Amino acid sequence: MSHKPQTHQAGASPRPAAARPQSPRTGDSSTAQSLPLWRQLQVAAAVVQAVRAGRSLTAELASVTPELRPGVQALTFQVMRQLGRAMALREKLANKAPPPAADALLCTALALSWQGDDAPYPVHTLVNQAVEAARQQRQTQPQSGFINGCLRRFLRERETLVAETDNDPQARWNHPRWWVTRVQDEYPEDWQKLLDMAQQPAPMSLRVDTRHHSVAEYQAQLLVIGLATQAVGASGLQLERAVPVHQLPGFAQGHVSVQDAAAQVAAPLLLQGREAGQAWRILDACAAPGGKTGHLLACYPNAQVLALDVDAERCQRIAENLQRLGAQNEARAEVRAADAAQPAQWWDGVAFDAILLDAPCTASGIVRRHPDVRWLRRPGDSAQLAQTQARLLKALWPLLSPGGRLLYCTCSVFRSEGEDTVQAFLQHNTDARMLPSPGHLIPGKIPTGLPVKHNALGEHDGFYYALLEKDRD
């Protein structure tokens, strides 16, 4: 029942500018440095075509050969962030869409080149190599002349064509029109900031396990190796630049984890104000990939945590994460593949003191990290997911002991998956009351209602939190 997309790289979106131009030449090589750009564009276009057909960018990138993956990943992230403009430009250049493979290659080239200053390669190089990519591939070779004509016209008339698409909300904001409208309606004062921030690569944030080091001590370790940071939240650090996790001191030993500052709110909020040393019995429903599970075990040293996920493969990821953190060695965590909405299949009848429900959602709050999300979602998805969220709340609430707490959260900025869902639940459950809660954490806005020890969250993702307590009577 998990919704959380897999991370592409240690918590940070790659920056397309990292893929600098090499001398294009034919023939493949075992190193990324010698791979011709036209080949990278071919593979990037195939990934874009798959996303437009409804498949996850994460899964598609995982299937790309290792020598191609870094360049293709950087290119496709930029394409996803500029796809709205690219599609609008393609419509200006050709009213009728070419076959899907050719259309994906054409849109890929337009997305990468329409902003000359931000293009990962010189625009003429991108155009020439995109045409070469079309010629070199069976699926697109018949349309290579069409692609060449469209891109040459784009080069000649770029300023005019871009100006003609400026009034299209999907082109201007690079989100589907329905998404733009919804954000405008729900955040009339902040909608532009929200959409603009979604275009920026997300920062890499860390959670320090303070059982090993204080935040200040670990910050000093990073500075020694040239990594500057700022403190975020209660035990977090935000890096000025993303790095592979193997460069982080003590990562393999579980001294630090990659986790967004907004996601770090969950564990300390769940039992805020209660004795951390109690032997709490905690359920982490929809737990994959296990970041919050590990944080729960770090915050509550005597707790017993049951971590559920409906996907057995994702449960393996939870187990691996807990193994790195040393949590499973302490025999305080059990990982089980099960549907949280079907307690009869897995619950032993013993009530939980606390439940963390990180519910399935549109992931609209983490679109910076997963820029394909905006193109995968459909207008009705939020309402459908709200029904799933309500079903989970209804199923799990009876499992909570009197006086126990349930923390409901989603990584969505849509109110139908946050405030609306919780208010509907409260109307139908008179034994539930809302405790002070952050509500919607919106990127770019100073959050309120956080646990007392939390500092500013930095450039955090979009989240929703509601802390519910069950009456003792």
pLDDT(466) > 80: yes
Q: Do 322 and 466 fall within a single domain?
A: yes
* 388 CB-contact burial (10 Å; exposed 0-12 / middle 13-18 / buried 19+): middle
> What is the rounded CA–CA span in Å between residue 48 and residue 332?
43
Q: What is the mean pLDDT of the chain?
A: 92
Average pLDDT over residues 331-352: 96
pLDDT in tens, 111-135: 999 999 999 999 999 999 999 999 9
Q: What is the DSSP letter of 387?
A: H
Maximum pairwise Cα distance, the chain: 75
Question: Considering the domain boundaries, does residue 178 fall inside one?
Answer: no
265 and 388 in a single domain? The answer is yes
Give the percent of the chain with pLDDT over 70: 91
Checking if the pLDDT of 57 tops 80, the result is: yes
pLDDT of the residue at 358 = 98
Asked whether residue 221 is domain-assigned, the answer is: no
- In which band, very low, low, confident or very high, does the pLDDT at 7 lie, cut at 50, 70 and 90? very low
Residue-level pLDDT at 207: 98
Residue of 107, 299, 409, 411 with catalytic role: 411
Residue 333: domain span: 260-470
Most confident stretch, 9-18, 321-330, 454-463: 454-463
Element (H, E) at 37: helix 37-52
pLDDT at 95 (0 to 100): 85
Q: Assess whether 157 and 273 both reside in one domain.
A: no
Indicate whether 276 belongs to any domain: yes
Predicted confidence (pLDDT) per residue in 276-311, tens digit? 999 999 999 999 999 999 999 999 999 999 999 999
**Domain assignment present for 212:** no
User: Residues 31-44: what's their mean pLDDT?
Assistant: 84
Amino acid at 111: A
Residue 204 in any domain: the answer is no
What is the reported pTM?
A: 0.91
Q: Are strands 463-470 and 400-410 parallel, antiparallel or unpaired?
A: antiparallel
| Mean pLDDT confidence for 95-109 | 96
Average of per-residue pLDDT across 29-55: 86
* pLDDT tens digits for range 142-163: 999 999 999 999 999 999 999 9
Give the residue-averaged pLDDT of 427-454: 88
Quote the CA–CA distance of 442 and 412 in Å, as a whole number. 9
Q: How far apart are CA 300 and CA 276, in angstroms?
A: 5
| Measured distance CA(245)–CA(30) in Å, rounded | 24
The torsion of the CA quartet 267, 269, 272, 278, rounded to 10 degrees, works out to -20
Domain count, the chain: 2
Q: Give 21's pLDDT tier (boundaries 50, 70, 90).
A: very low
pLDDT at 232: 94
pLDDT > 90: percent of the chain: 87
Q: How many CA atoms lie within 13 A of 299 on its CB side?
A: 26
Kindly state the average pLDDT of the residues 86-100.
96
- What does the alpha-carbon distance between residue 414 and residue 49 come to, in Å, rounded to a whole number? 27
Task: Assess whether 107 carries a catalytic annotation.
Answer: no
- Domain CATH number, residue 97: 1.10.940.10
Boundary residue ending a domain (173, 202, 224): 173
How do residues 185-238 score in pLDDT, each as one tens digit? 999 999 999 999 999 999 999 999 999 999 999 999 999 999 999 999 999 999
Q: Are residues 50 and 149 in the same domain?
A: yes
- What pLDDT is stored for residue 447 in this prediction? 81
Position 15 pLDDT exceeds 70: no
Q: How confident is the model at residue 330 (pLDDT cuts 50, 70, 90)?
A: low
Q: Report CA dihedral (350, 356, 357, 361) to the nearest 10 degrees.
A: -160
Report the SS3 class of residue 338: coil
Tokens 């493949």 found at:
28
> pLDDT value at position 420?
97
